[in-house]
Amino acid sequence: MLFTWFLLAGFIFLLAPQSLTNKFQFAFTRVFRWPLSIGRNISLSARIQQPLTDVVSRREFDKLQNHLANVTEELLEKHKQIERISGLRDRLHALEGAKLRLADVITASIDGSRCELIINRGEDDELAEGQFVLGDNSIVGTVSDVSPRTAKVKLITDLTSKIAVKIRELKTIIQGSGQNSVKVQLLSIKHKVEVGDEVYARKKPGFLDAPVKVGTVARCKRDDENPLLWDITVKPACDVEKLKDVAVIIMNPQE
Amino acid sequence: MHWFRFAVFVLIVTVLQAGLADIVAVTNLNIKPDLLLILLVFFAVYCNTFEAIITSFVIGFAADIILFGFPMGSRMISFGLFGTALAYLNRVVTIKKMPYQSVAIFITALLAGTLAHLLDSFRGQTTASNVFAVIFGTSLYSSLVGPFLFLPSAWWMRIKVGRLS
């Protein structure tokens, strides 16, 4: 008899609407939610801990992800540098034996008396005083001072800058005028020079193995003070103010 | 029969089954021992028929209550039916030895699981395609660990087991 009643109760439960019988299940969950949640947390953590031998913590993961992002970005930057350097070499075959050290411009000081750049390469990168600096495939200046991690580049427009150049096979010297131009010194009027002539930095053993363009003659007239000499103004081939990076020519790399 | 002890025991085992049994689950089918069914066999074996009928249906009700999303009643019926049948069988064949208890758990779990599945299907409850593999796995797992849980159960229920092996 008891069995029949229980069986009947079972069938009533079975045939009762599920929305009604679910209330018993929800009531059980509500009453025992604390021990149930503990049990489930333990079960969950036990399952999660199993594959932990092959993974790292979230913090370590984030750290590695950041490192990966940094390295990837650095790699892309290096790729760009390689492309720039190889492009530079294609254009300047004469620099084949030289090492071109790319450097970013940290600051550019261009005012009346001083025209110089601070770049993010230094003695540690084999930079030394006197080395020529290229910007947009033309000579923009020379390294004037080096520290372990940075260097100062004296631009060709600086008042104290003097570079040996040639114009139409004429050897002469250019000196910065302090503004965005360069003056050619002591060139007799017997030599033929015209506006538009290109000016090349001359070879300098240990520093430059081939002539590299510096600029073009922008103005050419007789010197007011000495009519036997030309007063030539050279416009630099590169707009220094827009430079973001330069390449330092290292003629005798240690490697 | 200590009914208060029984009520507390069933509650504890129900909570353990609902919350902690997953720890010992094996394979990707999440096969775990059915503690309530082991309890059912225990009471069917060590109690008289009257007590076994009550305990079987109550344990079946407890098994129903922790299966969220399933219609209630299917386990109450199947557990009650096979628990009662086992209690009657125990009158004829004594199930005191561990291997027999293991076989009893295995067969009861297999039959009760199958009937519960059929009743669920009758109510239109969709189940996984590998449900019989799960029933078989659960039956096997329960039969392996079940006899070892009889001793602590007997201690709690103040029942003298008195088995030799």
Domain boundaries, chain B: 3-157
| Residue B164: per-residue pLDDT | 43
Cβ-proximal residues to B105 (8 Å cutoff; 6+ apart), any chain? B37, B38, B41, B139, B142, B143, B146, B147
Q: How confident is the model at residue B82 (pLDDT cuts 50, 70, 90)?
A: very high
pLDDT at A224 > cutoff 50: yes
Residue A81 belongs to some domain of the structure = no
A interface mutation test: which of B12, B20, B54, B126 has the most A CBs within 10 A? B20
pLDDT at A89 > cutoff 80: no
Q: Which tens digits make up the pLDDT trace of A167-214?
A: 888 888 898 887 778 888 778 888 888 888 889 998 888 888 888 888
Cα–Cα distance measured from residue A241 to residue B9, given in angstroms and rounded to the nearest whole number: 86
**Mode of pairing for the β-strands spanning A212-222 and A170-176:** unpaired
CB within 8 Å: B119 and A16: no
Give the domain extent around A34. Answer: 2-47
pLDDT at A143 > cutoff 90: yes
Nearest by CB: B23 against A25, A37, A43: A43
* Residue of A34 and B142 predicted with greater confidence: B142
Size of chain B, expressed as the number of residues it contains: 165
Q: How confident is the model at residue B68 (pLDDT cuts 50, 70, 90)?
A: confident
Residue A255 belongs to some domain of the structure = no
Same domain assignment for residues A227 and A142: yes
Query: Are the C-beta atoms of A56 and A64 separated by less than 8 Å?
Result: yes
Residue A52 belongs to some domain of the structure = no
Cα–Cα distance measured from residue A52 to residue A56, given in angstroms and rounded to the nearest whole number: 7
Give the mean model confidence (pLDDT) for residues A228-243.
86
Same domain assignment for residues A155 and A33: no
| Phi, psi (deg, nearest 5) at residue B63 | -65, -35
Residue A180 belongs to some domain of the structure = yes
CB within 8 Å: B54 and A42: no
Domain count, chain A: 2
Is A104 strand, coil or helix? Answer: strand
Residue A218 belongs to some domain of the structure = yes
pLDDT at B163 > cutoff 60: no
pLDDT at A255 > cutoff 60: no
Same domain assignment for residues A28 and A116: no
Residue A93 belongs to some domain of the structure = no
Which of residues 12 through 41 in chain A touch B, CB cutoff 8 A? 12-16, 18, 21-22, 24-25, 28-29, 32, 35-40
pLDDT at B165 > cutoff 50: no
Give the mean model confidence (pLDDT) for residues B90-117.
88
Task: Give the CATH number, domain containing residue A183.
Answer: 2.40.10.340
CB within 8 Å: A42 and B67: no
A interface mutation test: which of B23, B59, B79 has the most A CBs within 10 A? B23
Same domain assignment for residues A19 and A115: no
pLDDT at B56 > cutoff 80: yes
Share of chain A above pLDDT 90, in %: 6
- Choose from A22-26, B3-7, B128-132 the range with maximum mean pLDDT: B3-7
Is B106 strand, coil or helix? Answer: helix
- Single-letter amino acid, residue A41: N
| Residue A133: per-residue pLDDT | 92
Give the mean model confidence (pLDDT) for residues A111-125.
85
- The least confident of A208-222, B11-25, B102-116 is B11-25
Distance from CA of B57 to the nearest CA of A (A): 7
Query: Options 1.10.1760, 1.10.286, 1.10.150, 1.10.10; which CATH number does B3-157 get?
Result: 1.10.1760
| Residue A142: per-residue pLDDT | 92
Cα–Cα distance measured from residue B143 to residue B15, given in angstroms and rounded to the nearest whole number: 20
* Tokens found for residue B89: 């069988």
pLDDT at A52 > cutoff 70: no
Distance from CA of A29 to the nearest CA of B (A): 8
* Tokens found for residue B138: 């659960």
pLDDT at A106 > cutoff 70: yes
B interface mutation test: which of A1, A14, A19 has the most B CBs within 10 A? A14
* Mean pLDDT taken over chain A: 82
| Residue A110: per-residue pLDDT | 80
Q: Which residues pair with A221 in a beta bridge?
A: A231
Same domain assignment for residues A116 and A228: yes
pTM of the predicted model as reported, rounded to 2 decimal places: 0.50
CA separation, residue B137 to residues B34, B107, B110, B130 (Å): 10, 12, 9, 11
DSSP string, A48-100: HHGGGGG---HHHHHHHHHHHHHHHHHHHHHHHHHHHHHHHHHH-GGGTTSEE
Same domain assignment for residues A110 and A211: yes
Q: Give the residue from A11, A29, A47 where a domain finishes.
A: A47
| Residue B31: per-residue pLDDT | 85
Cβ-proximal residues to A207 (8 Å cutoff; 6+ apart), any chain? A130, A131, A132, A249, A251
CB within 8 Å: A15 and B73: yes
CB atoms under 10 Å from CB of A151, counted, come to 27
* Residue of A213 and A87 predicted with greater confidence: A213
Give the mean model confidence (pLDDT) for residues B98-115.
90
